[in-house]
């Protein structure tokens, strides 16, 4: 429970504050002092009379009432201090920096539970234990360096790991990325990453709050909460990017050994982030680059003008933007000619706009003005401006600074000369700007942003889905395992998913009678074995009753065969839908073209149930083989709308049947009119 005492404490006490700044207890006091904390700062230290110029209390008993306590003492002392301060000193917020709790030992977990219980009882906020603290513009309650540039337009950064937070700050500081707050949640059992987002969402003030949130997550313990508040914040205009570490199998192993995190399956994370509209990053460098982009005006559209005085980086940037799905469109016409006349002879305005190595700050300003005001096909401007060391760049960077304030189109500053023009770049950053020192790193991060969709609509679509019938079927299933084909068909029917006419029996006469009724040719499949094709249990195109009878006899001899299924044979292109239940996340739904596309090429898209029509359409169109669904080389396309509808309906079914742990519909057969489920398997766990 985040409260005023945590965010804006009138008084802070550091329990274990010391004079030794090489220890956390000393470093946190130093940071609070150098951060200009305006309230009353108190120290408790039994051995010192004065700590860094502040009178020290020898005992907590001597303390006056204090809003926030920062604990930097051994874990075993913490429960008692928390109890005493909450009870006697009206302390309503705690930051416990100390480690040695649940992350280390069972005894530590007991201590942590005691602290938690006390905080809950008295309504106290609890950050940590096992964290670097909380850094806001109000108070610098962290023991670590670096302290980044803090301002209200900076980003809010929430981290599940203190050490990683520190290293992310290192990467941010060199780029000039400003911060509004840094939250290190440590073990985070009261205030985890999700709770911080919840608070920011529920107390959101568009006038005062930061619009950018960066997250470093090792374990998503409350996916629903994350989804809800990330979506809500993004809908309110915020932008969120996150690293979820542990995406590979060995990565997950590392995550488990780190803080006892239970690794979430990565496809569920991927699907959750996409559903929420969170930009996923994979490195510190990428996260801070995305953060820098988020501090600029929003880049809508795809067309970039590059203004540069060096050709090479302009070419590399053009390559990288194109690779990321953006354009560097040609610029020409009257306005372009006019611009060219104002630059040195030999300049190019075709885009990249190359004002030449000798181009002046004035030229830079003119080129930017033309991109802002005259070139309507331009949505954003990227300026590459460094120096070979002949002249200082103060004037050029001053032009850039002013244009960034003036222009409506976002301007991305790429200032490569971080050593030779170190002081000039520093001054530029001190105006509150960021710097992308490598153009390709910028373009790659921008592509990552562009490909992240807007938050999905979270209404559950029940059109055509008979939820109560689904529940009746599921409730009626007695035991765990793959359910009978008849029930599979009933479930699909309940969700309005068309299936092919079929009939299952262990009696030859019945099978033949059904085939004669529905008409030949038919498909014959064995019932029982899981991998039917591998055991010769599927025969297509059976055209006569005699042939059917022969296949029936043969199939009933296959090991595990319990019956034979006969289906009307239909034609079409194979599609696939699958789903897997991930604990806490819900069902990850996969779709793709069938056959080799799924089995060899792993060409599948994923989404998290329940899905909206827009999400399903997005899943379909992001397949590598999408052209086949669209229709290619004179072939008609498939009914994409129906395919999307089936995906949506299935996701609704799954949302109401969490007992389903795994399922495949493989194949569905599709043509320009219909999409029909031909075979499906459903695994239920009761």
CB of 182 to a copy of itself, least distance (A): 12
CB of 388 to a copy of itself, least distance (A): 4
* Binding residue (CB under 8 A) for a copy of itself from 247, 264, 489, 494: 247
Q: What whole-number distance in Å separates Cα of residue 189 and Cα of residue 413?
A: 41
Q: Interface residues for a copy of itself in 337-396 (CB under 8 A)?
A: 345-346, 348, 350-352, 354, 357, 386-391
Q: Interface residues for a copy of itself in 523-582 (CB under 8 A)?
A: 533-534
Nearer to a copy of itself, 537 or 586 (CB): 537
Nearer to a copy of itself, 421 or 654 (CB): 421
Residue carrying structure tokens 């194949």: 667
Tokens of 238: 């915020």
Q: Interface residues for a copy of itself in 632-651 (CB under 8 A)?
A: 632-634
Nearest to 127 by CA among 177, 166, 72: 72
Q: Quick check: 118 and 190 in contact, CB under 8 A?
A: no
CB of 603 to a copy of itself, least distance (A): 8
Q: What whole-number distance in Å separates Cα of residue 525 and Cα of residue 515?
A: 13
CB of 167 to a copy of itself, least distance (A): 4
Nearer to a copy of itself, 118 or 435 (CB): 435
Nearer to a copy of itself, 400 or 483 (CB): 400
Nearer to a copy of itself, 61 or 599 (CB): 599
User: CA angle at residue 73 from 69 to 77, to 5 degrees?
Assistant: 90
Q: What whole-number distance in Å separates Cα of residue 332 and Cα of residue 351?
A: 9
Nearer to a copy of itself, 223 or 416 (CB): 416
Q: What count of other Cβ atoms lies within 10 Å of the Cβ of residue 563?
A: 20
3-state secondary structure at position 609: coil
Question: DSSP assignment of 454-479, as one string?
Answer: PPPP-PPP-TT--HHHHHHHHHH--S
Q: Interface residues for a copy of itself in 400-419 (CB under 8 A)?
A: 416-419
Question: 54: number of CA atoms within 13 Å, CB side?
Answer: 22
Q: What is the b/e burial string over 306-323, where b = at least 16 CB atoms within 10 angstroms of the residue's CB?
A: bbbbbeebbbebbebbee
CB of 453 to a copy of itself, least distance (A): 23
**Residue span binding a copy of itself (CB under 8 A) among the ranges 66-74, 120-128, 255-263, 480-488:** 255-263
Nearer to a copy of itself, 233 or 393 (CB): 393
Q: Interface residues for a copy of itself in 76-105 (CB under 8 A)?
A: 99, 104
Question: 134: number of CA atoms within 13 Å, CB side?
Answer: 30
CB of 133 to a copy of itself, least distance (A): 11
What is the maximal distance between C-alpha atoms in the chain?
Answer: 102
* Binding residue (CB under 8 A) for a copy of itself from 225, 258, 374, 550: 258
* Binding residue (CB under 8 A) for a copy of itself from 171, 360, 462, 618: 171
- Is residue 260 close enough to count as binding a copy of itself by CB under 8 A? no
Q: What whole-number distance in Å separates Cα of residue 381 and Cα of residue 436?
A: 13
CB of 282 to a copy of itself, least distance (A): 6
CB of 539 to a copy of itself, least distance (A): 15
Q: What is the CA radius of gyration of the chain?
A: 31
| x/- letters, 274..313, toward a copy of itself (CB under 8 A) | --------xxxxx----------------------xxxxx
Q: What whole-number distance in Å separates Cα of residue 163 and Cα of residue 144?
A: 9
CB of 191 to a copy of itself, least distance (A): 19
Q: What count of other Cβ atoms lies within 10 Å of the Cβ of residue 38?
A: 10
Q: Which residues contact residue 277 at a Cβ distance below 8 angstroms, ignoring those fewer than 6 apart? A: 230, 231, 234, 240, 452, 453, 454, 455, 456
Q: Interface residues for a copy of itself in 13-52 (CB under 8 A)?
A: 21-24, 27
Nearer to a copy of itself, 391 or 405 (CB): 391
CB of 174 to a copy of itself, least distance (A): 7
Q: What whole-number distance in Å separates Cα of residue 308 and Cα of residue 371?
A: 13
Nearer to a copy of itself, 7 or 287 (CB): 287
Nearer to a copy of itself, 221 or 259 (CB): 259
Question: 560: number of CA atoms within 13 Å, CB side?
Answer: 11
Q: Interface residues for a copy of itself in 581-600 (CB under 8 A)?
A: 596, 599-600
- State which H helix or E strand residue 540 sits in: strand 538-542
**Residue span binding a copy of itself (CB under 8 A) among the ranges 167-175, 185-193, 198-206, 484-492:** 167-175
* Binding residue (CB under 8 A) for a copy of itself from 628, 642, 659, 661: 628
Nearer to a copy of itself, 177 or 456 (CB): 177
User: CA angle at residue 454 from 409 to 624, to 5 degrees?
Assistant: 105
**Residue span binding a copy of itself (CB under 8 A) among the ranges 207-215, 315-323, 363-371, 401-409:** 315-323
Ramachandran angles phi, psi of 68, nearest 5°:
-125, 135
Q: Quick check: 119 and 151 in contact, CB under 8 A?
A: no
| x/- letters, 433..472, toward a copy of itself (CB under 8 A) | ----xxxxx-------------------------------
Q: Interface residues for a copy of itself in 608-627 (CB under 8 A)?
A: 624-625, 627
* Binding residue (CB under 8 A) for a copy of itself from 90, 259, 458, 658: 259
* Binding residue (CB under 8 A) for a copy of itself from 246, 291, 578, 610: 246
Q: What count of other Cβ atoms lies within 10 Å of the Cβ of residue 486?
A: 12
| x/- letters, 202..231, toward a copy of itself (CB under 8 A) | --------------x-x-------------
Q: What whole-number distance in Å separates Cα of residue 159 and Cα of residue 186?
A: 8
Nearer to a copy of itself, 194 or 285 (CB): 285
Q: Quick check: 304 and 430 in contact, CB under 8 A?
A: no
Classify the phi-psi angles of 100: left when phi > 0, otherwise alpha if psi is within -120 to 50, otherwise beta.
Answer: left
Q: What whole-number distance in Å separates Cα of residue 97 and Cα of residue 641?
A: 54
Nearer to a copy of itself, 345 or 476 (CB): 345
**Residue span binding a copy of itself (CB under 8 A) among the ranges 3-11, 168-176, 396-404, 651-659:** 168-176
Q: Interface residues for a copy of itself in 103-162 (CB under 8 A)?
A: 104, 132, 143-146, 161-162
Q: What whole-number distance in Å separates Cα of residue 267 and Cα of residue 582?
A: 9
Q: Which residues contact residue 681 at a Cβ distance below 8 angstroms, ignoring those fewer than 6 apart? A: 482, 488, 530, 663, 664, 666
**Residue span binding a copy of itself (CB under 8 A) among the ranges 86-94, 114-122, 196-204, 244-252:** 244-252
Nearer to a copy of itself, 75 or 563 (CB): 75
Nearest to 81 by CA among 13, 183, 6, 139: 13
Q: How many residues contact a copy of itself, by CB under 8 A?
A: 98
* Binding residue (CB under 8 A) for a copy of itself from 296, 315, 467, 484: 315
Q: What is the b/e burial string over 177-196, where b = at least 16 CB atoms within 10 angstroms of the residue's CB?
A: bbbbbbbbbbbbbbbbbbbb
């Amino acid at each position: 429970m985040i409260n005023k005492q945590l965010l804006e404490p009138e008084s802070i006490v550091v329990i274990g504050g010391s004079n030794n700044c090489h220890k956390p207890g000393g470093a946190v006091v130093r940071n609070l002092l150098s951060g200009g904390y305006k309230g009353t700062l108190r120290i408790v230290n039994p051995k010192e009379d004065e700590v860094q110029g502040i009178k020290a209390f020898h005992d907590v008993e001597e303390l006056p009432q204090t809003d926030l306590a920062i604990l930097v003492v051994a874990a075993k002392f913490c429960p008692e201090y928390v109890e005493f301060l909450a009870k006697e000193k009206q302390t309503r917020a705690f930051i416990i920096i100390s480690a040695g709790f649940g992350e280390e030992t069972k005894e530590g977990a007991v201590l942590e539970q005691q602290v938690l219980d006390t905080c809950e009882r008295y309504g106290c906020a609890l950050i940590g234990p096992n964290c670097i603290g909380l850094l806001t513009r109000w108070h610098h309650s962290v023991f670590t360096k670096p302290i980044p540039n803090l301002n209200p337009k900076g980003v809010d950064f929430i981290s599940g790991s203190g050490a990683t937070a520190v290293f992310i700050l290192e990467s941010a500081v060199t780029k000039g990325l400003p911060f509004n707050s840094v939250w290190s949640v440590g073990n985070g059992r009261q205030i985890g990453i999700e709770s911080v987002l919840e608070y920011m969402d529920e107390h959101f003030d568009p006038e005062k709050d930061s619009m950018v949130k960066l997250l470093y997550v090792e374990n998503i313990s409350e996916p629903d909460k994350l989804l809800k508040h990330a979506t809500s914040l993004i809908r309110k205009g915020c932008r969120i990017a996150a690293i979820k570490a542990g995406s590979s199998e060995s990565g997950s192993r590392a995550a488990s050994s780190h803080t006892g995190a239970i690794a979430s399956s990565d496809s569920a994370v991927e699907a959750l982030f996409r559903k929420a509209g969170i930009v996923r990053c994979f490195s510190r460098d990428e996260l801070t680059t995305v953060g820098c982009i988020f501090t600029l005006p929003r880049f809508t559209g795809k067309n970039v003008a590059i203004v540069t005085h060096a050709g090479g980086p302009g070419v590399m940037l053009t390559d990288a933007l194109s690779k990321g799905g953006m354009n560097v469109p040609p610029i020409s016409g009257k306005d372009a000619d006019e611009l060219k006349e104002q630059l040195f002879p030999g300049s190019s305005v075709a885009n990249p706009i190359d004002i030449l190595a000798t181009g002046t700050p004035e030229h830079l300003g003119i080129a930017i003005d033309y991109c802002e005001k005259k070139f309507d096909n331009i949505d954003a401007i990227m300026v590459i401006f460094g120096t070979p060391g002949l002249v200082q760049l103060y004037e050029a960077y001053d032009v850039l600074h002013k244009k960034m304030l003036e222009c409506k189109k976002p301007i991305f500053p790429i200032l490569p000369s971080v050593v030779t023009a170190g002081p000039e770049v520093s001054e530029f950053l001190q105006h509150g700007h960021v710097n992308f020192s490598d153009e390709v790193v910028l373009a790659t991060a921008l592509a990552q942003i562009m490909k992240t969709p807007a938050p999905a609509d979270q209404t559950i679509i029940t059109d055509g889905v008979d939820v109560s019938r689904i529940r009746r079927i599921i409730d009626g299933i007695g035991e765990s395992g793959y359910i009978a084909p008849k029930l599979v068909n009933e479930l699909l029917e309940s969700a309005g998913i068309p299936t092919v006419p079929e009939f299952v029996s262990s009696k030859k006469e019945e099978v033949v009678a059904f085939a004669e009724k529905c008409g030949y040719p038919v498909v014959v499949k064995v019932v029982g074995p899981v991998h039917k094709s591998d055991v010769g249990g599927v025969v297509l195109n059976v055209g006569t009753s005699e042939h059917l009878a022969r296949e029936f006899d043969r199939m009933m001899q296959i090991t595990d065969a319990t019956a034979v299924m006969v289906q009307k044979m239909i034609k079409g292109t194979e599609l696939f839908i699958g789903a897997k239940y991930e604990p806490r996340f819900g069902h990850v739904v996969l779709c793709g073209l069938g056959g080799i596309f799924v089995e060899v090429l792993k060409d599948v898209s994923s989404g998290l149930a329940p899905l909206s029509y827009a999400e399903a359409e997005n899943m379909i169109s992001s397949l590598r083989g999408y052209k086949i669904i669209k229709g290619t080389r004179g072939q008609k396309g498939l009914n994409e709308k129906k395919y999307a509808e089936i995906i949506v309906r299935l996701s609704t079914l799954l949302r109401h049947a969490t007992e389903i742990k795994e399922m495949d519909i493989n194949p569905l057969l599709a043509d320009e009119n219909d999409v029909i489920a031909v075979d499906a398997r459903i695994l239920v766990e009761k």
